[in-house]
Amino acid sequence: MQTKDSFPLQGVIGVVANSVDEINAAATKGLQCVELRADLLLAGGLSLTQVLDTIQQAKSHGLASLFTLRHPTHGGKFTGSEDDRVSINQQALAAGADIIDLEWNTDSARQMLAINAPIILSYHDFNTMPTDAELADLTGNMQRDNPMAIKVVPTASSLADAAKMLQWVASAENNIKRIGFAMGQTGACSRILTIAHGAPITYASFGEAVAPGQVEIDQLLTNYRAMSLNSKSSVVAIAADSTQHEKLTAALNQQYHDAQKNQVAIAFLAEQTDDLNTYKEMLRITEITSQ
């Protein structure tokens, strides 16, 4: 079994949800790990045997694997019983999966925790953001189960929500890793910056996003250089009309790359300028420009 000091996932994790060909794409792009969304692969027509075979396919490319059989209440498509989920997750670990993801407070998670399985306990809210008190209670309850990592992904309705999740990631105090960001378009910046605030991974799709606000993988790797962001990285906020965002951020980030600057340009809507000033420190913004 993995220990908490040897967390197996790092950097941008590619979400394999549509085809096993995405494993090859992950290796080609230089990723260290993939999430095998078993529920989506099964729903797409693969047999359980074929899905379990993807674990060894990932390993053959030098990729660590996170095996996820997501329940519909958390955005997944697996409709079997909790006992079925336990059985399949056990088979996945036996086949070589490095770690599994199961939703906190589910029967399947409790059973896998009881056998000390390497696990990310996850919590998703596709509608709202918890209050500070709710987030603190949730964090304490999840950590008491002593998983390798906890993942909390609520939905942002404001820049304050994105900043809250980055602060939550950065405030980890023990050896239980925190994976967190906010869903929705407003929360996209937290997906880009979460590694820089201490999360071991951020998720990226190869094609159509599998969660609201998910950033396309080439954007994360090439434009935002997410794999190289760290605790010293600073942010240049582009507050402009959305039609200008892509060109402005691409041009600036290329400049930073060429100059070997530990900076990243991220686009925000012009009407968010006041919020950018309010949360400047939390988002590590050193400059706000509309260039």
From CA 151, how far away is CA 97, in angstroms rounded?
Answer: 18
Task: Return the axis-axis angle of helices 21-28 and 48-60, rounded to nearest 10°.
Answer: 20
What b/e readout covers 116-132, taking b as 16+ CB neighbours within 10 angstroms? ebbbbbbbbbeeebbee
The amino acid present at 236, given as its one-letter code, is: V
User: What is the Cα–Cα distance from 42 to 17, expressed in whole angstroms?
Assistant: 9
Please count the other Cβ atoms lying within 10 Å of the Cβ belonging to residue 48: 15
Active site residue 164: no
Q: In angstroms, rounded to a whole number, what is the distance separating the alpha carbons of residues 88 and 108?
A: 10
124 is catalytic: yes
Element (H, E) at 35: strand 33-37
Q: Which of 74, 124, 164, 177 is catalytic?
A: 124
The catalytic position among 151, 164, 177, 197 is 151
The set of catalytic residues is 124, 151
